[in-house]
Chain A
Amino acid sequence: MSRRQYLALVRRDLLGETRRLQSLLSMVIFAVVAMVVLHYGWHAGAGSAWAADGSGAVPAAMLWVVFVFAALLGLGRTFAHEREDDCLDALLLLPVDRFVLFLAKATTNLLLLVVLQAIVVPVFALFFLDVTAWRLLAFVPVALLADVGMAAVGTLLATLVLHARSRDLVLPVALLPLLVPLLIAATSATEAVVDQGAGLGSIAGRLGFLAAYDAVMLLVAWGTYDILVSE
């Protein structure tokens, strides 16, 4: 292959990319969001005894980064069966309120997240933490509130990108920035109750924020889901 042909092909690809900016913008958004999440995890654990022992690792951030990336795999497949088996229209023809459809999908995603955490958290505690079971129990309300938010916004956005090109690329790009406020609250609350042994009363504000986030996302889904799946 000549140098001219090679340069022409590179130019063609770059021109296509500069016209749409989709890949570059997606990569930049993803990278910056990952930095924000890791920063907040690092910051939350920086003053703790766990980080001060020289290990340099931050359990709360690690835990939530694991959950988010695992959740992305599940959320991306919210409508996979309907797409693969070509039965989306049949599902939409069901004589049920579209919001019920959303709740059903979101509940499935929520249960998947809960089961994932029920498996991962004890294993994680065994390998990375030296805490009592009581402290792990205090993590339950934090995880549940964060999971509801993740499932709600994740299901809504999975529906949003249902007919999109490159939906596997678009979903994380759209979802991750929206999850950052939730992740910041969940990470700092997890760090407080699991690592520092704080009571739930001391993280009431963060739990309240998570509950408000859940309520707003459910409200948005209630208001928009019908038109979103009708179109």
Chain B
Amino acid sequence: MTADETRNPCISAVPMSPRERLYSAPALFLWAALVLVAGVLLAFLVAPIDASSMGFSQKIFYFHAPIAETALVAFGVSFVSAIVSLRRGAEHASGVGEQLEVAAVRLGLVFSGLVLVTGMIWGRAAWGVWWAWEPRLTTFLLAVLVYAAYFVVRAAVDDEGRRAVVGSVYAIVAFVTVPITFFATRYLPEGLHPVVITSSGARMEGSMVLAFVVCTAGMLLLLAALLRTEVTIARAQAHVSRVKEEIERRQAAGPAPDRAGVATPGGAAERGEPMEGTGRSTR
């Protein structure tokens, strides 16, 4: 193992710089919470009740639309991560890029699930039905199915390197559904779904736009915090796997002589000597 492969910031004793601290997962969660609380206050206390027939039920828009955009951004992150992973070559496909890609797809699916739930609640209030087969809803459901299949495809491949490549290629193909979902309401006129943000501006009052923008920023910060946490966990798991493999490799290599020159069964690993490249003791 190289030092670069084994260095893991989540278990490293090296203290974070103030800048790193600002972008750490706890800090991002805190920022997300603050911005989301501000967004909730703006949505319920500042933004006026919608003048159309939707009335108070329109308030769900400040959460439904930002969640939807965050889901699409997460899929976008997976697309970019997949390209970066593949550009590094097949032998490097399984790494941070892959971890970010998997985390982004997983979180994209979670946010998509929330979009469908909030959309159904809003649809029930606005259209009187829980579900309508209209372009935006159908294409979003489609994106969920496509990205759910990502995990089926990955789970079917045993080899780690091949799984990374297969996952990345599928993530690139799957991203085709994202622009289709985004533009469905703009180019398919038969849809029921309203188009609020258009190329000519937002069809809302200023305070409504402010609440929407703040809620969107909060959701994006939440996505960043969750992505950071997921990647840290994935890196820690990968690190533990590598250390385990290293221990098994040393044990399989046979007993190593102890300090007195006598062979002991566990060798360096059992004595708690630093593992190669980890810079840490196994104790």
Contacts and interface: CB of A to CB of B under 8 A. Distances in A.
Interface string A18-40: 00111001100100110010011
Contacts of A169: 156
A12 interface: no
Interface residues of A, number: 41
Contacts of A39: 133
A104 interface: no
Interface stretch (A90-98, A127-135, A152-160): A152-160
B165 A157 contact: no
Task: Say what secondary structure dominates the interface of chain B.
Answer: helix
Task: Say what secondary structure dominates the interface of chain A.
Answer: helix
A78 B259 CA distance: 60
B176 interface: yes
B40 interface: no
B253 interface: no
B174 interface: yes
Contact of B149 (A173, A213, A217, A224): A173
Contacts of B89: 227
Contact of A166 (B148, B156, B173, B174): B156
B152 A170 contact: yes
Contacts of B166: 160-161, 164, 228, 231
Contact of B170 (A20, A174, A213, A230): A174
Contacts of B187: 205
Contacts, number: 105
A166 B155 CA distance: 10
B142 A22 contact: no
- Assign chain B's interface to a size class: 35 or more
B177 A181 contact: yes
Interface string B119-141: 00000000000000100001101
B169 to A, nearest CB: 5
A169 B252 CA distance: 38
Given A178-B174, A181-B177, A181-B180, A164 B142 contact: no
Contact of A153 (B152, B156, B157, B173): B173
A160 B145 contact: no
27 contacts: A22-B156, A25-B151, A25-B152, A26-B152, A29-B145, A32-B141, A39-B133, A40-B133, A160-B169, A161-B156, A161-B166, A163-B159, A164-B153, A164-B157, A164-B166, A166-B156, A170-B156, A174-B152, A178-B177, A181-B180, A220-B169, A227-B165, A227-B169, A228-B166, A231-B93, A231-B162, A231-B166
